[in-house]
Homo-oligomer: A and B are copies of this chain.
Amino acid sequence: MPQKHRKTVQRKPRADAQRNRERILEVAKEAFARHGANASLDDIAKEAGVGPGTLYRHFPAREELLQAVYRTDLEKLAAAEQKFAQTMAPTDALRAWLLLFVDAIAAKQLIAPALNTLLGDPKKVFEASHAKMHQAIRALVKRGVESGEIRSDLDPVDLLRALIGVSNVASAPDWQPSARRLVDILIVGSRPIK
């Protein structure tokens, strides 16, 4: 037990810190859903009953807050990949997962605003959930390529980008059927050219 007399003993994290962090996340999820990804951070802090300083210490950048808010949802989505991969043919699995992705965006107005910021931005492509999503789509496509059902010159992430593009650019209130149709097109278009 090196903890006993190391200089850098790990203290148990303070209870109030934990509490505040969770409250901020709750309020933020609500706020992002209501006001979009640009909701005022100071307002979120206020509604969570903390000062702005506190919010910014927990989440130095807006991105990080968004990331934290949607992390679990994204990871759940990524996890679904394995289930599909195990029970379906490659192409079907890919299609199913893409549709699930669309549904997830649709179901929760929540994720939509976050995704473009998350999946896309030039910055950190290293975040945990980010990486898991990439891994998921890559695995699906790779399996398809190996079985010969998917053309090999395909950047898996582009599929996601296309869908995100459609959804977040969504002008029409009926974007969801559009997105589902697009999935179909992407799938068909992803077959190898014979």
Contacts and interface: CB of A to CB of B under 8 A. Distances in A.
Interface in A162-189: 162-166, 168-171, 178-179, 181-182, 184-189
Contacts of A170: 120, 161
Q: Give 6 closest A-B pairs by Cβ, nearest first.
A: A165-B165, A189-B189, A120-B169, A185-B189, A188-B189, A162-B162
Nearest to A116: B169
26 contacts: A116-B169, A119-B171, A120-B168, A120-B171, A125-B171, A155-B181, A158-B181, A158-B182, A161-B166, A161-B169, A161-B170, A161-B178, A162-B162, A162-B165, A162-B182, A164-B169, A165-B166, A165-B169, A184-B189, A185-B185, A185-B189, A186-B186, A186-B189, A187-B189, A188-B193, A189-B190
A157 to B, nearest CB: 8
Contact of A165 (B121, B161, B188): B161
Interface residues of A: mostly helix, strand, loop or mixed? helix
Given A188-B191, A189-B189, 6 more contacts: A119-B169, A155-B178, A158-B179, A161-B165, A185-B186, A185-B189
